[in-house]
Amino acid sequence: MHKMLDVTEQRQRKRRPRREALHRLIENDLIRRVSDDEYRRKVKRVYGGPKGAMLAACSMVSLHMPLGERLFRTRKFDLTGARSILDVGSGAGQIARHLLKYADQDAKVTCIDLSHQMLRRARNRLKSTGPDFVAADLACLPFADESFDCITCGYVLEHLPDPKPGLAEMARVLTKGGRMLLLTTEDSFSGAWTSRLWYCRTYNRKELMRLCESVGLRCKQELWFTKMHKAMRAGGICFEIEKT
């Protein structure tokens, strides 16, 4: 049995470099090629334009929206007791909608996004007076230390040329013991295509975990949308994180 496992592992190891080379070939490398300011302008243009207008529809088609809702509905990521929730890079309000549905009635939700157009779209889609909408960059959050006891950050970190300042900012505004749901595009075949479509980068789990730890955030557990996603290692990276 052990011998068989060894052989399988060896085969997988041999295949990995080829697979990684393929991912690198497909993956968009704009984030590494241009200056931070130029890249930031590109992100604003992409989300402010027709692609951004299609974001909510894309999240439905890719099933990220219903699968994301599942995490909250089944309490895999439990919002109970959270009083002040920050949704980073709220886009079309895909996650904010779940927050409004599953968080406690008295929880305050704040949505931030780099793109004014995306904030407007989120406001129109959510049709709720509840959340505050703030135009801001994840790398420089306009909030006092420890302002939030819960943060959700879905598919935004891959838009930072250097993720560390963004993670450090979220660690700063999170209360001690506060929790965060962090979703990112994974270094996989489908992730590489996503990166092509949205001009973002991808992560692998170990790298992301190390980055979190370097700013005082601990990965409490890895979450999966469904059992099938776990078995197939598909659906991107999804961490529940705690500020230690």
Residue ranges that bind ligand SAM, judged by CB under 6 A = 43, 47, 59, 89-91, 94-95, 112-115, 118, 137-139, 154-156, 159-160
Sign of the dihedral defined by the CA atoms of residues 88, 90, 95, 101, in that order: positive
Of the two residues 27 and 113, which places its CB atom closer to ligand SAM in the complex?
Answer: 113
CA–CA distance, 122 with 194 (Å, rounded to integer):
21
Of the two residues 84 and 195, which places its CB atom closer to ligand SAM in the complex?
Answer: 195
Minimum distance from residue 206 beta carbon to ligand SAM (Å): 23
Q: Which residues of 123-151 are buried (b: 16+ CB within 10 A; e: fewer)?
A: bebbeeeebebeebbbbebebeeebbbbb
Minimum distance from residue 166 beta carbon to ligand SAM (Å): 7
Q: Which of 44, 67, 48 is nearest to 159 (CA)?
A: 44
Of the two residues 22 and 197, which places its CB atom closer to ligand SAM in the complex?
Answer: 197
Q: How far is CA 185 from the centre of its chain?
A: 7
CB 228 within 8 A of CB 213: no
Q: Which of 95, 98, 75, 78 is nearest to 87 (CA)?
A: 95
Minimum distance from residue 48 beta carbon to ligand SAM (Å): 8
CB 188 within 8 A of CB 26: no
Of the two residues 114 and 173, which places its CB atom closer to ligand SAM in the complex?
Answer: 114
Minimum distance from residue 196 beta carbon to ligand SAM (Å): 14
Of the two residues 154 and 178, which places its CB atom closer to ligand SAM in the complex?
Answer: 154
Tokens representing residue 180 in the block: 């965060």
Minimum distance from residue 6 beta carbon to ligand SAM (Å): 40
Of the two residues 37 and 106, which places its CB atom closer to ligand SAM in the complex?
Answer: 37
Minimum distance from residue 194 beta carbon to ligand SAM (Å): 9
Q: Are strands 237-243 and 174-184 parallel, antiparallel or unpaired?
A: antiparallel
Of the two residues 79 and 95, which places its CB atom closer to ligand SAM in the complex?
Answer: 95
Q: Which residues of 92-101 are buried (b: 16+ CB within 10 A; e: fewer)?
A: bbbbbbbbbe
Minimum distance from residue 15 beta carbon to ligand SAM (Å): 30
CA–CA distance, 39 with 36 (Å, rounded to integer):
5
CB 83 within 8 A of CB 148: no
